[in-house]
Structure 1
Amino acid sequence: MFFSLGLPRPRKAAALLALLGLGASTACAADDLASRPYLFGDWGGTRTRLADDGIDFSFGYQNEAGHNYRGGDRRLTRMTDQWKAGVTLDLDKLWGWHDTVFTLLYTNRNGRNLDTDSRLGNLQQTQELYGRGQTTWLTKLTVEKGFFDHRLAIKAGRESEGDDFGYANCDFQNLSLCGSEEGNVFGRYWMNWPVSVWMVRGKWATSAHTYVQLGVYQQNPTYIDNAWMRRSAWKINNPGGTQGVVVPLEFGWTPTFGGYDGSYKFGVVYNSGGLPDLIEDANGQPRAITGLPGRQRDGAYSGYIAFLQQVSGINGGKGLTVGLRATAGDRQTSPVDRQFSLNLEYHGPFARSGDIIGLGFAATHASSRQADYQRLYNAYHPDDAGLVADSYEYVSELFYSWQPIRSVTLQPNLQYILHPGGTSENKNALVLGLKTVVAF
C-alpha cells in the first residue's frame, strides 16, 4: 500500500507512463539514463543547442501523497500533484538585448487534501503542494533587465512575492517547512507559488556579498477567489478588485565562513490594502455579537529573517546545511500571527551525491485575537461553538530523498503534529508521506 500512495489518478498515470515510454524510446543510445538531468534526455542534442542559443525549457511533475496513521477522525490516503511547463529566453543571445531575460511558466494542480478530508484541524498543510486552486496557473511572466554589469536588476511582470523575497527552498512536504514563511502566515496578501500578481522589483548589489531589494506587488483578493481561479488563473489579465500594494524590503548578506557559503536575509513588509479586523466590525462593535463584517484596517506590517548556512562537507555539495526562519506581525487581521522553523539537511549521505536526509521543526502560532473572537462567539452562540485556539502548532518532519536516477526523486517522509490548529483539543497527528519529483 505504501508505494501506491504516490500514484496519480488512472488517467494521469496512463499519461505519465506514455511520457516515460516516449522518453525512453527517443533517447539517444549514448545518453545515460542514470546520470542525465532530464528523463527525456537531450533530444538528440537539440536541447543543449537551444540552451546555447538562449532558449531553456523547464518541464516537471511533482506528486505529494499522505496517509494519517493518527489524528483527525478518519484514516485516509490522499494525493495531490502538479505539472509545470516553462521557458526562459536569454534575449541577449537571441536578439542582442543586453542582460535581459524573459521567463514564462505555467503550472497545473490536481488532487485532494488529506488535512481537510480527514479533519486534522491543522494550521499548516501536510501536503504543501495542495492549495491556491486545483487548476492551471500563469505562475510566472517576467522580464528582468540588468544594468551596470548587473549590479542593478529590474524585474517586472507577473510573479509572486515568495519567488524573490525570503527563503523559498521547498525540500520538505509540510508547508511550515517549505517556501517563504510570509506566505505561510500572511497568505491572504503575500503570495507564494503558484500564484502570480502584477509586480515590479529592483535589486541592487551594494557589494560582492550584500544586496538590498525592494518590490511592489499588487494586492488583490480576487487572485485567491476559488471561482475566479478555476476560470481565469491561467490568463494574462488584470482582474478587478485591487485594494493596494504589498511592499517588501529585504537586506541580504551572502558570506563565506570557513569555506562554506551562507545566505542571510532580513526583511520588512508593508501591506497598504489592509484586511478585515478579527474582532471589531465596521462600527467598532464586537463582530462575534453583531455578525457584521470586520472593520477594514488601513494597512499592516510584518517582518522576517531567513538564514541558510552550510557547516560541513564540500562547499556546494556533500555536507550539512542548517536553515533558520522566522516571521511575525499583522496581529489585527491575521488568524495566524507568527512562525518559526529550523531545518537540517545532509546532502550526499552514503556516498550518494543526489540524496538528502532532512530533519525539520516548526512552530506556528494561532492568534490570541482570533481566540478572543471565538470565545465571545461561543458565549453568544453555544449551539454553534467552535474550538478556541491561541497556542502553537508544533510540526516535525523527517525525510529521506532518494534519486534512483538523476531525473527522478522519491522522498518518503514522516510528519508529527503536536496540538494541530494551536489547541490541545485536536488529536495529535502522525502522517506518512511520499513526495515524487520528475524532471522531464
Structure 2
Amino acid sequence: MIGHCECHRSRHFVKSVGRFVAFFILVCGLHAGDGHAQSSSSNNPLSATSKGEAVEYGAVSSKAYQPTAYPLDDVGGFTIGPVIPTLAGAPHLFGDWYGIQPWLLKHGVFLNLALNEEYVGNITGGKTRSNVLAGQVAGELDIDWQRLAGVEGLWTHMLVINGHGRSFSLNSGDSVTNPEQIYGARGNVVAHLVEMYADKTFFNKRVIVSVGDIPTGSFFSYDYTACFFMNVSVCSNWAPGKYNPGGRDWPSGNVGGVLKIRPTQQTYIEGGVFLVSPHAYNGGISGWAIAQDGMDKVTSQVEIGWMPEFGKHKLRGNYKIGYWYDNSRYPNLYEDIHGNSFQATGQPRRYEAGMSVAWFMFNQMLVRNGEGLTNGLIIEGGAGYAQGNLVAMRDREWVGFVESGTPWHRPNDAMGIMFQHYDMSRTVSLQQESSLALGLPFMSNQWGPVYGIQNWENAYEAFYSINLAPATNLMADFQYMQHPGATTTFKDIAILGGQFTTNF
C-alpha cells in the first residue's frame, strides 16, 4: 500500500552534509597548540581522571551538569561502577559543604543539587519573533548500600526536579527539534519524580540488574558528549524514538528492568523490558503515580556496545547499536481499515500491532589534550530510525564535534558544533496532503502542532561554554533551523541562546 511506502529523500541530506564541511574545517583549525598537553586539576568534572574512563556512562540525569568520573572498583580486571552516574565526584560551587559532603560520601550517601537556566530567542524567521526563559532545580539522592549498611553491590537512585518557564517551540512553529535542553514534560508541580530504581551487581560485578521507575534513555541510546549541546534532540532523549509511548524518556520514568552483561572490559550487552503507559504523562503529571492503569503492554529494548581505547594516548571511543520493539497497537497515520485515507472515507483507522525503533551511535576522541574523559577533540554522530507508518519522524542523522579548552589554556571551557537532519515519514505527509485537499486542519502528531505538509528539516548548532567558578558555567549558543517544523510554511529560524548551570 502507498501508506506503507517510505521513500528515502537522501538528496536533501547529502546537500546538507556538504554545507557542514565548512564547520569541520573551522573546528579543526581552532584545534591549536599541543594536542597532548596535560590539563591541570580543574573544576570541570569531565576533565577529572578516573578508572571510570573504561566504563560506558548512562544518562546525565539532571541535565544541569556533564557526566563525571565516578569512584569505581577494579575487580578481576573490570572497572565497574554504578550503571548511572550522579553528581558525586563533581565539584560544587560551595565546596565540600563545610565538611558535610566528605562525611556523606564516606557513608555511601551521594546528595546533590543542581540549577539550570536557559534563555533562547529567534532573531529572524519562525512563526513569531519570541524569546523565552526556562529552567529547573534538580535534587538527586544515590545510596551505596555496601558503604551504608554492608549490602554488597546494591545501589538505589532517586531524582526529583522542579521546572519553570515556557516552550520556545510553541512560539517558533517548530516542534520537530527543540533548541531548549531542559523544557518540557515536567508538569506544573513542585516536585516531579524522574527516576527511582535500584541496581544490584552479580558475578564479580560482570552482571548488573536494575529495577524500578527508569527513564529508558538512561540506559539505552545515550551519548554523554551530546549533552554539551542545548538542542535536546541529541541529549539522552533521542529522536525519533523519544516521544513514542513505548520509549518515553527523561523526565518521565518507565516501570521496568534492565539486565546488563559485560563480557569484557570494553564491551557490554544489555536488554530491558518496560511497561507502556497509555497516559500522556508516565506516572501522572507529577511522576509519582507509578502504578497507573492500562499498562498491560511492554516494550523490549536491546543494545550492544563497544568502548575501545586507541593508541598510547588512549583515544576513547563509544560505539553502540540498538533496537526496541513495542507490542502495543497504534493507529496508522494515514490509512483506514481498507487502506485509504481515513479522513476522506470516514472509516475507522487501521490499527497495527507492534512498533520498531533502531539506532546506531558513536563518539570517538581524535586528539587528546588532557587526561579527562573528554579532554580532546571528539567526533560524535549516529542515525535513528522509527517505523514511519506509525511514527511521524521516520529517521534522523547527526554529526558533531566537541573540543575542551586546554589548547587555548582554558581547560574548563568547551566548544562544539553539531548538524542534525530529520526526515518525516511519507505516511504522515500523505495524511497532511489529505487534510489540505479536504480543507481540514492539520493534525498534531508525536512532535506537536503541524503547520504544513512535513518533509525534512536541518538543524545547525555552535556553542562556547565558559567556566566561571567551581562547577559553574555560562554557555553562548547559536542555532539555525532550516525548514522549521519540517515544512516551508515559515522562514528559516536563527536563534541566539544562553545557558547557566551550577552544582551547589
Q: Name the CA distance, whole Å, in 2 between partners of 1:394 and 1:101.
A: 41
Q: Please give the per-residue CA displacement for 1:336-372, whole angstroms capped at 9, x wherever unaligned.
A: 1111111110012421121110100001111111110
Q: Name the CA distance, whole Å, in 2 between partners of 1:285 and 1:127.
A: 38
Match among 342, 349, 357 for residue 287 of structure 1: 342
Q: Name the CA distance, whole Å, in 2 between partners of 1:333 and 1:359.
A: 32
Where structure 2 has 5 or more consecutive residues not aligned to the other structure, the ranges are 1-89, 444-449
Quote the residue 1:348 is aligned against: 405
Q: Please give the per-residue CA displacement for 1:64-96, whole angstroms capped at 9, x wherever unaligned.
A: 210110112322210111111111100111111
1:192 Cα shift?
A: 2.0
Quote the residue 1:129 is aligned against: 182
Q: Please give the per-residue CA displacement for 1:76-119, whole angstroms capped at 9, x wherever unaligned.
A: 210111111111100111111111101111112211011212x3
Quote the residue 2:244 is aligned against: 187
Q: Name the CA distance, whole Å, in 1 between partners of 2:241 and 2:473.
A: 25
| Matched letter for residue 38 of structure 1 | H
Quote the residue 1:437 is aligned against: 501
Number of residue pairs the alignment of both structures matches: 401
Quote the residue 2:388 is aligned against: 331
1:243/1:389 CA distance change after superposition, 3 Å: farther
Deviates more, 1:416-425 or 1:168-177: 168-177
Match among 294, 301, 305 for residue 248 of structure 1: 301
1:275 Cα shift?
A: 2.0
Contact 1:344/1:359, CA 8 A, preserved across alignment:
yes
Contact 1:138/1:236, CA 8 A, preserved across alignment:
no
| Matched letter for residue 477 of structure 2 | N
1:236 Cα shift?
A: 4.8
Deviates more, 1:37-46 or 1:137-146: 37-46
1:163 Cα shift?
A: 0.4
1:131/1:383 CA distance change after superposition, 3 Å: closer
Quote the residue 1:92 is aligned against: 146
Structure ranking higher on relative contact order (CA contacts 8 Å, 6+ apart): 2
Match among 329, 339, 360 for residue 274 of structure 1: 329
Contact 2:194/2:253, CA 8 A, preserved across alignment:
yes
1:237/1:115 CA distance change after superposition, 3 Å: closer
Match among 412, 423, 428 for residue 365 of structure 1: 423
Quote the residue 2:164 is aligned against: 110
| Structure with a larger share of its residues in helix | 1
1:293 Cα shift?
A: 6.1
Deviates more, 1:236-245 or 1:95-104: 236-245
Q: Name the CA distance, whole Å, in 1 between partners of 2:241 and 2:469.
A: 32
Quote the residue 1:212 is aligned against: 269
Q: Name the CA distance, whole Å, in 1 between partners of 2:181 and 2:192.
A: 16
Contact 1:366/1:421, CA 8 A, preserved across alignment:
no
1:190/1:234 CA distance change after superposition, 3 Å: closer
| Matched letter for residue 266 of structure 1 | I
1:168 Cα shift?
A: 4.1
Q: Name the CA distance, whole Å, in 1 between partners of 2:391 and 2:475.
A: 33
Match among 289, 292, 295 for residue 239 of structure 1: 292
Quote the residue 2:437 is aligned against: 379
1:176 Cα shift?
A: 2.6
Contact 2:301/2:324, CA 8 A, preserved across alignment:
yes
Aligned-partner SS, 2:434: helix
Contact 2:144/2:156, CA 8 A, preserved across alignment:
yes
Report the RMSD for the aligned CA atoms in angstroms: 2.2
2:463 equivalent to 1:409: no
Q: Name the CA distance, whole Å, in 1 between partners of 2:120 and 2:404.
A: 24
1:46 Cα shift?
A: 1.4
Aligned-partner SS, 2:236: coil
Aligned-partner SS, 1:40: coil
1:294/1:186 CA distance change after superposition, 3 Å: farther
Quote the residue 1:23 is aligned against: none
Aligned-partner SS, 2:328: coil
1:179 Cα shift?
A: 2.0
1:290/1:346 CA distance change after superposition, 3 Å: same
1:371/1:39 CA distance change after superposition, 3 Å: same
1:244 Cα shift?
A: 1.2
Contact 2:266/2:308, CA 8 A, preserved across alignment:
yes
Contact 1:394/1:417, CA 8 A, preserved across alignment:
yes
1:180 Cα shift?
A: 4.2
Where structure 1 has 5 or more consecutive residues not aligned to the other structure, the ranges are 1-35
Contact 1:183/1:190, CA 8 A, preserved across alignment:
no
Output the TM-score relative to the length of structure 2: 0.75
Contact 1:111/1:134, CA 8 A, preserved across alignment:
no
The correspondence of residues 60-71 of structure 1 with structure 2, limited to 5 A, is 60-71=114-125
Output the TM-score relative to the length of structure 1: 0.86
The sequence identity of aligned pairs, in percent, is 25
1:383/1:266 CA distance change after superposition, 3 Å: closer
Q: Name the CA distance, whole Å, in 2 between partners of 1:284 and 1:391.
A: 22
1:188/1:124 CA distance change after superposition, 3 Å: farther
1:263/1:174 CA distance change after superposition, 3 Å: same
Quote the residue 2:362 is aligned against: 307
Quote the residue 2:36 is aligned against: none
Q: Name the CA distance, whole Å, in 2 between partners of 1:141 and 1:265.
A: 26
2:278 equivalent to 1:257: no
